[in-house]
């Protein structure tokens, strides 16, 4: 006989993600998942969950979680900005040997891309928070 726990695990792994992606579950489920994702530093998932939960913009819990995700995006974007500044400083100090220059350029591009993604998430959530229409967030 199959236990109830095994059936619920099977449901969560097979049908659960499809239902979750449709936004049919209660808002508190998505908010809880967004907070769990923030705890794990999974910003993509947190933004996706807040976006799915954003059907009632006047709910104080949704606004609070949305503000927390925006704050985390800003903190991470500033960390990427500091890293970019550090790369530029090190390039000036150490000169520009070809091997080192290529490595730093690849790192700079990755940092810029991460910063830009975080800023787009921030703007998307900020627009939702203010009640403006915005494009849905897609994971890249």
Predicted confidence (pLDDT) per residue in 25-77, tens digit: 888 888 999 999 999 989 999 999 998 887 666 788 888 999 999 999 999 99
Structural domain boundaries in the chain? 25-129
Phi-psi region for residue 11, left (φ > 0), alpha (ψ -120 to 50) or beta?
A: alpha
Global pTM value: 0.74
- Residue 37 tokens, joined: 């994702």
- CA dihedral of residues 10, 15, 16, 19 (deg, nearest 10): -170
**What would you report as the CA-atom Rg of the chain, rounded to the nearest whole angstrom?**
20
């Amino acid at each position: 006989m199959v236990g109830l726990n095994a059936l619920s695990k099977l449901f969560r792994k097979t049908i659960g993600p499809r239902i979750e992606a449709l936004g049919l579950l209660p808002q508190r489920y998505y908010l809880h998942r967004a907070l769990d994702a923030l705890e794990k530093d999974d910003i993509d998932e947190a933004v996706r969950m807040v976006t799915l939960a954003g059907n009632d913009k006047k709910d104080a819990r949704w606004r609070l979680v949305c503000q927390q995700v925006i704050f985390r995006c800003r903190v991470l974007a500033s960390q990427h900005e500091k890293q970019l500044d550090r790369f530029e400083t090190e390039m000036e100090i150490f000169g520009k040997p070809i091997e080192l220059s290529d490595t730093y350029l690849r790192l700079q591009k990755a940092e810029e891309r991460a910063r830009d993604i975080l800023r787009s998430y921030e703007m998307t959530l900020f627009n939702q928070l203010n009640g403006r229409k915005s494009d849905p967030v897609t994971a890249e």
